[in-house]
Chain A
């Protein structure tokens, strides 16, 4: 499927329009859930880290460091992408599945359009563009959520948290998170596209394909997460 995706577009303007539409669907469509998850993720991390740091010899700003690194290294890319696999993945699979079952893909083929290029490629490219952005937003919001929870509960002051955020900061961690985001974005978009595009049957099969694509995407994300951590860290 991936090989067949690369062909000369019939009308570049239409492909661009479809790409922008997918960017909006994947990016703007998932922004709400990403914001909510990220803020709570950061907040809970702060509270739980503070709960575990009982030793008086560890400075309180360490909480911010731990929250920052956990959010950047794991929570923002992995957790958010697992959620996105559910949100975006099921949408892609069911959309393509419905198009296949209702012969809309056949209708496009008859018109002389390469459906893999027109329907699948913009989704994958849009995911590759938008999901890393969402991961960056998530990381920032995670840290802000942690700061907010820390100050609200009186565990750590805002200035101490900010100081902790800047201590021992390794830019490579951000680079690692972005690499993860690109890898997961490809998984999130290509696996559901495959399951949706090749669905056979009716409504029941669309549901099955959607569920299966989410499960496979999640497993692949976790597997890729381990491989990337083992290779790059």
Chain B
């Protein structure tokens, strides 16, 4: 009897795991699983060092769901390392990363795999596969994780390419694209599986201000459209003002300030102010904004007159 019960329970377990595996491969079912699981990202007392060099020291924060969360700071402040810790590319020395209350470090391999399939990431250098065309690059996650037909996959590729405002590049290789186009293909690849989280590591690096603005707007729109929790690493102030629903300022591996793009201008934090108003022009602009807020500037006056 015991033996029969054991056999039966094993059979049921095998069937359910098989069923679960088949669900994993099915795009629609993925969303059902997804909706039940992780939602909010919380980082608790993260510390990461390389040798004696402490890169991140006791950083805690909660990333707001469905919003654009920005991690800003000067080069070498630990933004990228923090982001890589969050997605599991680096293991933190101590502390926890929680996805919907579940510790990422404590997750088993399967759970990690499942979670990672809900993460899209745009890398600093785009990280497109050189040997593949744009179409193949974007289709790759679909090939790997769905059982869609080639036609369906192609349709989805066209959809996301259209979403990032790229047309007629399907057959081109990454080497034939400009920096801005590569970033957009990177975003398209990151969102092709409808991820729940979008991580962008310096999406504007190496781009001209106009293209940067385009990428910022795109990230913001995608975040709102798909209700994605987006985390962006940047030191570009345009991005901060454009997309910063929630901003974390890092200074030498420590979280120095937290707020949003409306508060940041009026922050009293000296280190943050030094970072934001690095140029005289921005400092002047800030002074003017302060005066304007106090009612000392008449907005109807000529700009040239103001600058005098």
Contact = CB atoms under 8 A, between A and B. Distances in A.
Interface stretch (A55-63, A76-84, A105-113, A176-184): A105-113
B143 A11 contact: yes
Given A103-B125, A103-B127, A110 B119 contact: yes
A52 interface: no
B117 A112 contact: yes
Nearest to A17: B143
A106 B114 contact: no
B125 A102 contact: yes
A112 B125 contact: no
Interface string B83-98: 0100111000000000
A112 B89 contact: no
B144 A106 contact: no
Interface residues of B, number: 28
Q: Which of A107, A113, A114 has the most CB of B within 10 A?
A: A107
B129 A111 contact: no
Contact of B144 (A10, A102, A109, A110): A10
Given A7-B109, A102-B125, A110 B87 contact: yes
A104 interface: yes
Contacts of A14: 143-144
B144 A103 contact: no
Nearest to B110: A8
Contacts of A113: 144
Nearest to B199: A110
B11 interface: no
Contacts of B144: 10-11, 14, 111, 113
B172 interface: no
Interface in A1-53: 7, 10-11, 14
A11 B25 CA distance: 9
Interface residues on A, range: 10 to 19
B123 A107 contact: yes
A114 B109 CA distance: 10
B123 A112 contact: no
A103 B123 contact: yes
The interface residues of chain A, by DSSP majority, are classed as: loop
A91 to B, nearest CB: 12
A7 B140 CA distance: 20
B127 A102 contact: yes
B141 A104 contact: no
Contacts of B286: none
A106 B201 CA distance: 12
A104 B129 contact: yes
A184 B88 CA distance: 35
B145 interface: yes
B215 interface: no
Given A7-B109, A111-B144, A106 B123 contact: yes
Contacts of A103: 123-125, 127
Contacts of B219: none
B299 to A, nearest CB: 46
A111 B127 contact: no
A60 B164 CA distance: 75
Interface in B114-143: 114-117, 119-121, 123-125, 127-130, 140-141, 143
A33 to B, nearest CB: 22
B15 interface: no
B217 interface: no
A14 B123 CA distance: 24
Nearest to A9: B144
13 contacts: A10-B113, A10-B145, A11-B25, A11-B143, A14-B144, A104-B128, A104-B130, A106-B89, A107-B121, A111-B141, A112-B113, A112-B115, A112-B116
